[in-house]
Amino acid sequence: MKKKLISILLCAGMVISLAGCGETGKEEKAENEAKKGETLTIYTNSGSDGRGEWLEEKAKEAGFDIQFIDAGAAETQSRLIAEKNAPVADVVFGLNSIIWSSLKSEDILTEYVPKWAGEVESELNDSDGFYHATVKQAILLCYDENQISEEEAPKDWPDLWQKEEFHGKYEYLTGLSGGTVRNVLAGILTRYADPEGELGISDEGWKEIESYYKNGSPNESGVDLYARIADTNNPIVCGQMWSSGIESRDEQYGTKTAYVVPEVGVPYAVEAIGIVNGTKKLDEAKEFVDWFGSAEVQGEWAEEFSTLPANEKAVDKANEFNQEIAKIPAQDIDWDLVAENIDAWCEKIILEYMP
């Protein structure tokens, strides 16, 4: 009788224990489901023209709840730095390589290598894994084939100031705050990187920059580069342009754009994605990054918004023009060096070399 009672008590204890495990399991499952449904706050400068609304809808279909704070690249950068000790954002995407390097140096980002990282050119991703490229835009030296043939055209940026036939025939910008001009300067100056040189650049590099401004023609306020190129009475035949700006200008001005492909490659204004250091939704943020940068999503993004995906498995979804741009190799640029010095470089250029 005593043994039977003990057996009954043991069985009851097991039932209670199993019931407790069941309740714990239910609680853990409910907690995980609640965590999965958390709202991710995303900062970007690339949510306009319907992008934000499109992404919210697609993300919802994939099981993500997201909200955007859309602002300019510089404003987004400033906001992230200001909120460093109490982050609001969980994920940030868009921006450009210079800003990404700055955010990395400010310890704004947390390291995470997404599943699709290997599908992107290694030069476009952060080598330490803090941010990874999603969209790229080539920064090109363009000319009009109606006025100058490929044989006659420059083969690289230094040809502009080193060869007399191009003197006074290329445009440079007098304002140095824009992303495109800063990418151009980065592409030139980092070729002459020298840790012992002024602001990390050798004397030779600064002499090249001096010649660039000495032998070119400043932009005319309010006048598009292509308006000058299309005017046969204007000596300008070439200048800087971002790749997505070419097709619309050819249509508007009747030009037939060709572009220079230097042996070293070209700078790319690279949009990327990263996770904000200090987010309390790290697992959800990682899943979102894996999803957003995937070939499937970036391919749909390219089709919808005529972008050039950094993910090579999505390039076939880009339009014909962007697929040609995708073949241009990326210049290997030390973006950390650029981020650290670009403001000082621009100040020096304005004070010492700008006519």
Between the two ends of the chain, the Cα-to-Cα distance in Å is 107
Cα-based angle 344, 345, 350 (whole degrees, multiple of 5): 100
Residue 84 token pair? 């460093």
What would the pLDDT profile of 32-62 be if each residue is shown by its tens digit?
Answer: 343 456 899 999 998 888 889 999 999 999 9
What is the predicted pLDDT for the residue at 248?
Answer: 87
**163 by DSSP, 3-state: which?**
coil
What would the pLDDT profile of 265-287 be if each residue is shown by its tens digit?
Answer: 999 989 999 999 999 999 999 99
| H/E segment holding residue 10 | helix 2-36
Confidence of residue 236 (pLDDT cuts 50, 70, 90): very high
Mean pLDDT of the chain: 89
- CA 165, distance to chain mean position in Å, is 35
CATH tag for 137-266+334-353 (out of 3.40.190.10, 3.40.50.12280, 3.30.1490.20, 2.40.50.140): 3.40.190.10
Percent of the chain at pLDDT exceeding 70: 90
What would the pLDDT profile of 131-141 be if each residue is shown by its tens digit?
Answer: 999 999 999 99
Is the Cβ–Cβ distance between 60 and 243 less than 8 Å?
no
Where in the chain is CATH 3.40.190.10? Answer: 36-136+270-325, 137-266+334-353
**Bridge partners of residue 311, in order along the sequence:** 120
CA distance 214 to 202: 19
What would the pLDDT profile of 59-93 be if each residue is shown by its tens digit?
Answer: 999 999 999 999 888 889 999 999 999 999 999 99
Alpha carbons within 13 angstroms on the beta-carbon side of residue 299 total: 10
Question: Does the pLDDT value for residue 121 go beyond 80?
Answer: yes
Alpha carbons within 13 angstroms on the beta-carbon side of residue 322 total: 22
Q: What is the pTM of this model?
A: 0.75
Which residues, 6 or more positions from 230, have their beta carbon under 8 angstroms from its beta carbon? 144, 253, 254, 255
Percent of the chain at pLDDT exceeding 90: 76
Better pLDDT: 2 or 161 = 161
CATH topology of domain 36-136+270-325: D-Maltodextrin-Binding Protein; domain 2 (3.40.190)
What is the predicted pLDDT for the residue at 36?
Answer: 54
What is the predicted pLDDT for the residue at 37?
Answer: 62
Is the Cβ–Cβ distance between 140 and 260 less than 8 Å?
yes
CA distance 89 to 16: 44
Place of tokens 């046969």: 232
What would the pLDDT profile of 91-112 be if each residue is shown by its tens digit?
Answer: 999 999 899 999 999 999 999 9
What would the pLDDT profile of 142-197 be if each residue is shown by its tens digit?
Answer: 999 999 999 999 999 999 999 999 999 999 999 998 888 999 999 999 999 999 99
What is the predicted pLDDT for the residue at 105?
Answer: 93
Is the Cβ–Cβ distance between 343 and 351 less than 8 Å?
no
Is the Cβ–Cβ distance between 216 and 160 less than 8 Å?
yes
